[in-house]
Chain A
Amino acid sequence: MKAAIRHLRRNRGRTILTLLAVLIPVYFLVSMFGLTNSIVSDMFETATRIDTGHFQIRHIERRGMGAAIPLMHDSKSVLAALDKIDGIEWRTVRLDMPALASAGDRSQAVYVQGVIPEEIAPISSIRDLVVKGTYLKNGQNGAVIGEELAALLNVGVGDQIVLLGAHPETGLGALKVPVVGIYRAPISAMGRTVIHTTLTTARRLARSPNAATAVVVRVSGVTGPWDVGKIEAVTAQLKGLLPDDVEVLDWRKLAPQVSGYMAILRPVMIIFAAIFFGLGALVVLNTLYLSVMERTRELGLIIALGASRWRVMGMILTEAGLITVIGAVCGALIGVALAWIVEALGGIPLPGAELADYMKVVGMKPVLHMMISWPQVVISAAAMVGVAVLAAWFPAYRASKLEPVEAMRYVE
């Protein structure tokens, strides 16, 4: 070990190059993981807070429903089942249905979400997004619409809009409701299409006084899309407690765009990691190989004095292990430190209104955050060390195979 340290100190330029070859991939990966964790977490929070919850209990899918969700007429038995199990943070009943919103000669296809205002706050952040007027109150006949829809229909707070509901099970229903609030949606498509009314109003639109389409549930302690196990643990408790005609759908099925993004992200990160690690490994291989070439006579002497080939390999691999561990630890620490600095500064605001608008379209905040996951940091560093030591195997093997007489005659 002492000799390995001295060799590394003797060839400082090469040592620094090898160190950087390991440090930079680890630093990049840790930073990229931090950014993607934050992006995925943003998308997950947007989807689960505003729309899907962590899971929903719905009537089993029926054919011929189009964009409509089948109606449940006995949501009380579902709520009773949820009251019997642990791990529920909040739940509420909702009635979602497609409709046509119109004002004057303008109209827009929308999706009405009938909610219980006093229950919706912990599940949906839409109450906090209201920028004009107020959010709904219990029993109030009114609608909260997005800025985009308000612009499309050319209406403001206090104006009336007509909702024409069409559910395959109940037929057409029409209501005139005043706009009580306008919200700023995190996703522009949402602002154009999602209208909140009270559950009572939505039931009138659906012409069914007990109807609901879902019981929306949030699970305690879920911090991001990676906490699938906690959600599954809760839904597993529901087996046998729910009526036969309902099913449990978790956020992955309800927000396939988020789970789809995550599914794409994994292979992308693996490809990035492979490229970074591959480049790092090539530099490690190259520098160590050069080092072995330079030290051919010295290694020949060591072999001549009786060192076994395993010992010679061990010497080279010890050097490689030492430098790669130092490089990987430094890379990980720099990545973590950068994340801390970014978070301390409140994130990195994206430059330009267009980019911010695009982020909004895909459901992300226009400020980049870095969310560090320690298992990812450790795995990134350990994987780089593993790959680098593997790359060092070839020069180490070559060193162990040197013929002492030829090696000692070697002239650089």
Chain B
Amino acid sequence: MSNSKALIQTIDLHKTYKTEAVETPALNGVSIELHVGEFTAVAGPSGSGKSTLLHLLGGLDRPTSGEIFLEGVALSGLSKDQLARLRMTNIGFVFQAYNLIPVLTVLENTAFVLELQGVVRAERIKRARKILAELGIEQYADQYPSRISGGEQQRVAVARAVVAEPSIVLADEPTANLDTATSHELIDLMRRLNEEKGATFLFATHDSRLLDRVSRLITIVDGLITEDEKKHDPSAE
């Protein structure tokens, strides 16, 4: 693990989902640090709490207790609108499914976060085209999501996640719906972005194809971290 200042730090994170009759604990005291340039996976069986952890780190949900710091900023002190702004500027998301806005073209989907940020049209189109070209999917720029394959849609989602150069990309089961070949292509793509652009990735996954390629593997079982293994440090290369 790097000695640099943590990009994300969590302290004794708890999350319990409550319904009228039942309380379901999802996280039971998770404390981790993530650093710039890491390519990390949170692995664990279904229901272990890995997606919950990602949602909390991404400011999509709030912990029951504990604290999250993103670049030194405590998320608990932020309002909903401030959290939305933080997600817009600091975090890129890749979800398992339903990743793209169906009425926007690939180019418009890619540029969507830039549009939210208020980047002028010419600039956001230029940047979106550039990232699409880098990821080898420029030819789909004017297509709607429904006209391209699932693997291509995930590539577009990755393009959208990194186009605004966020502090970290959080990817929840990004390869779950993809066949083996497409999964490898997507993993290669993200690895390349990590190595060439220094993009920081955190995955929630139990896909062994992806787990084999990460530099750090955090294992979570029943809402607790059971293992935190540094496999490979890209910055050391």
Which positions in A face B, CB cutoff 8 Å? 2-3, 6-7, 10, 297-298, 301-309, 311, 403-405, 408
Whether a CB of chain A sits under 8 angstroms from the CB of B89 is yes
Q: Chain B residues in contact with chain A, CB under 8 A?
A: 55, 58, 60-61, 80-81, 84-89, 91, 93, 95, 98-99, 101-104, 108, 112-113, 116, 160
Query: Closest B-chain residue to A305, C-beta based?
Result: B113
Contact of B60 among A307, A308, A405 (CB under 8 A): A405
Offer 16 A-B interface pairs, CB within 8 angstroms, sorted by A: A3-B103, A6-B103, A298-B98, A301-B99, A302-B101, A302-B112, A303-B84, A304-B87, A305-B160, A306-B86, A306-B87, A306-B91, A306-B116, A308-B85, A309-B81, A405-B55
A305-B87 contact in complex given A298-B98, A298-B102, C-beta closer than 8 Å: yes
Check A306/B84 contact, CB under 8 A, given A405-B60, A408-B95.
yes
Given contacts A305-B116, A306-B91, A307-B116, 13 further A-B contacts (CB under 8 A): A3-B108, A297-B98, A301-B99, A304-B87, A305-B112, A306-B84, A306-B85, A306-B86, A306-B113, A307-B88, A403-B61, A408-B95, A408-B98
Closest residue of chain A to B166 (Cβ to Cβ) is: A306
Residues of B within 8 Å of A7, CB to CB, are 103
Residues on the B chain within 8 Å of A3, using CB = 101, 103-104, 108
Residues of chain A contacted by B102 (CB below 8 angstroms): 10, 298
A304 touches B60 (CB 8 A): yes
Measured between alpha carbons, how far is A90 from B143 in the docked complex, in Å? 74
B101 near A301 (CB under 8 angstroms)? Answer: yes
Closest to A300 in B: B98
Question: How far does the alpha carbon of A404 sit from the alpha carbon of B84 in the complex, in Å?
Answer: 10
Chain B residues within an 8 Å CB radius of A303: 84
List, in ascending order, chain B residues with CB within 8 A of A308's CB. 81, 84-85
Chain A residue contacts of B112, Cβ below 8 A:
302, 305
Whole-angstrom distance between the Cβ of B75 and the nearest chain A Cβ: 14
Q: Given A305-B87, A305-B112, A10 and B60 touching (CB < 8 A)?
A: no
Closest chain B CB from A397 CB (angstroms): 14
B-chain residues with CB within 8 Å of residue A306 when the two chains form the complex? 84-89, 91, 113, 116
Q: Is the CB of A307 within 8 A of B84?
A: yes
| A405→B112 CA distance, assembly (Å) | 19
Closest CB in chain B relative to A165 CB, distance in Å: 83
Residue of A nearest to B51 (CB): A405
Nearest 3 CB-CB pairings of A with B: A306-B88, A6-B103, A306-B87
Residue of chain A at shortest CB distance from B58 = A304
Determine the chain B residues whose CB is within 8 A of the CB of A304 once the complex forms.
58, 60, 87, 93, 95
In Å, the complex CA distance between A403 and B89 comes to 19
A10 lies within 8 A of B84 (CB): no
